[in-house]
């Protein structure tokens, strides 16, 4: 057998196990998660007027989102601790990831989702992996409070990001950026929903600095959707609404930790309108060839907003985290796109397609 121990294909536990809370009894589960590309985005950088921009494309993870990094650790620890059933609330990606890793580890999986509010593809993933799916009236926040109640009274391991192993696994994305770029960027830009990921990135960079791998940490820049922006507004949002269903969250579990990361890093959190999220998504797809889901494009949208308002220096280097793949949410309209019907006329077709004759 090939030696996969140090390969980037070996997954998060093998690659960063020394910096994770593993023991000799932790099973080395892997679906080859992590080691996602940091893609240079020169056209987008020029459009935004920024000196350097990379896209950390987390949509390249096995279930199509960043959740796999934390889930592999949470599931491995659940197995180690003797769990047979895991449970989570989700806007979609956490449930897809939990279902896949539970299947991989031979655990049963129970998922609570806001009824009618998650993308069909994400629901399909959970169902294909054999999870039990419960639809809950209300928002993600209602589902998460039910999960907390069930976790307190029944033999189930909670794998939401209130589980600290999730944060441990997700911090490895910060390690990868440092390992790949040889340094931390000036700005780390990401969408903020339940606020687990901003907490995790900050933890990763702080650990890298403490270990002497980087001289300084980046400023953490968070984006929320205007209809679901509790941290920006400073109070919970009762009925969050946004086209970016992944971050339709009104009362983030890691609110305090997010504020700490923002404060300690001289960071900024602000909000963007849905139309700006969707145009950032199209810009990424058309200018750079990278297709991410709407929630993920919030990172580029907030970066654009802050630069246009001169709230960030243009000579900064930035990494935008694209948290999930575009195929995750097929409800989005390819605005301004029209396909052409072929009616049997080849010359007419060539003309309609603006082809130049030989």
Minimal distance, residue 295 CB to ligand AN7, in Å = 4
Minimal distance, residue 296 CB to ligand AN7, in Å = 5
Helices (H), the chain: 12-16, 42-48, 67-80, 93-105, 120-128, 140-153, 164-170, 172-181, 196-210, 230-233, 255-264, 274-283, 294-308, 346-352
Task: State yes or no: residue 197 binds ligand AN7 (CB under 6 A).
Answer: yes
Minimal distance, residue 355 CB to ligand AN7, in Å = 38
Task: State yes or no: residue 300 binds ligand AN7 (CB under 6 A).
Answer: no
User: From the list 50, 86, 192, 261, which residue makes contact with ligand AN7 (rule: CB under 6 A)?
Assistant: 192
Q: Which is nearer to ligand AN7, 26 or 139 (CB)?
A: 139
Q: Which is nearer to ligand AN7, 11 or 324 (CB)?
A: 324
Residue for token pair 């907490």: 199
Could you give phi then psi for residue 163, rounded to 5 degrees? -80, 115
Could you give phi then psi for residue 110, rounded to 5 degrees? -120, 130
Q: Which is nearer to ligand AN7, 26 or 267 (CB)?
A: 267
Interatomic CA distance for residues 301 and 37, integer angstroms: 20
Minimal distance, residue 181 CB to ligand AN7, in Å = 22
Tell me the two tokens of residue 140.
């993600």
Q: In what order do the strands lie in the sheet with 132-136?
A: 132-136, 108-114, 85-89, 157-158
Minimal distance, residue 24 CB to ligand AN7, in Å = 30
Task: State yes or no: residue 246 binds ligand AN7 (CB under 6 A).
Answer: yes
Site size for ligand AN7 (CB under 6 A): 21
CA atoms within 13 A on the CB side of 326: 17
Minimal distance, residue 5 CB to ligand AN7, in Å = 29
Interatomic CA distance for residues 203 and 211, integer angstroms: 12
Instruction: Confirm if 87 and 150 have CB atoms less than 8 A apart.
Output: yes
159 - beta bridge partners? Answer: none
Minimal distance, residue 89 CB to ligand AN7, in Å = 7
Nearest partner of 167 among 11, 19, 15, judged by Cα:
19
User: From the list 99, 102, 293, 307, which residue makes contact with ligand AN7 (rule: CB under 6 A)?
Assistant: 293
User: From the list 136, 178, 247, 283, which residue makes contact with ligand AN7 (rule: CB under 6 A)?
Assistant: 247
Q: Which is nearer to ligand AN7, 178 or 195 (CB)?
A: 195
Task: State yes or no: residue 36 binds ligand AN7 (CB under 6 A).
Answer: no
Over the window 319 to 338, marking each residue x when it contacts ligand AN7 by CB under 6 A and - when it does not, the resulting string is ----xx--------------
User: Interface with ligand AN7 by CB under 6 A: which residues?
Assistant: 65, 90-94, 161, 191-197, 246-247, 293, 295-296, 323-324
């Amino acid at each position: 057998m090939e030696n996969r121990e140090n390969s980037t294909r070996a997954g998060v536990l093998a690659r960063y196990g020394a910096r994770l809370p593993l023991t000799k009894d932790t099973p080395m589960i892997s679906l080859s998660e992590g080691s996602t590309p940091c893609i240079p985005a020169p056209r987008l950088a020029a459009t935004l007027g920024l000196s350097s921009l990379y896209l950390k494309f987390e949509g390249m993870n096995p279930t199509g989102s960043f959740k796999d990094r934390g889930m592999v650790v949470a599931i491995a620890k659940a197995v180690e601790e003797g769990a047979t059933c895991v449970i989570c609330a989700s806007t979609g990606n956490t449930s897809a990831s939990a279902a896949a890793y539970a299947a991989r580890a031979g655990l049963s999986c129970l998922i609570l989702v806001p009824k009618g509010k998650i993308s069909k593809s994400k629901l399909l993933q959970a169902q294909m992996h054999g999870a039990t799916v419960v639809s809950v009236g209300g928002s993600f926040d209602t589902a998460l409070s039910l999960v907390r109640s069930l976790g307190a009274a029944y033999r189930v391991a909670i794998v939401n990001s209130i589980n600290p192993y999730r944060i441990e696994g997700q911090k490895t994305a910060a390690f990868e950026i440092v390992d790949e770029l040889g340094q931390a960027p000036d700005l780390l830009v990401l969408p903020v929903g339940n606020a687990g990921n901003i907490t995790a990135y900050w933890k990763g960079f702080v650990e890298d600095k403490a270990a002497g791998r980087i001289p300084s940490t980046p400023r953490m820049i968070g984006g929320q959707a205007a209809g679901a922006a509790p941290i920006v507004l400073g109070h919970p949002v009762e009925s969050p609404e946004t086209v970016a269903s992944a971050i339709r969250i009104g009362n983030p579990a890691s609110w305090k930790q997010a504020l700490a990361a923002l404060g300690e890093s001289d960071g900024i959190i602000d909000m963007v309108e849905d139309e700006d999220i969707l145009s950032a998504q199209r810009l990424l797809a058309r200018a750079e060839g990278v297709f991410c889901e709407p929630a993920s494009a919030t990172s580029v949208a907030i970066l654009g907003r802050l630069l246009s308002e001169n709230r960030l220096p243009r000579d900064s280097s930035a990494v935008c985290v694209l948290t999930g793949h575009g195929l995750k949410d097929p409800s989005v309209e390819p605005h301004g796109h029209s396909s052409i019907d072929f009616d049997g006329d080849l010359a007419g077709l060539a003309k309609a397609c603006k082809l130049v004759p030989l």
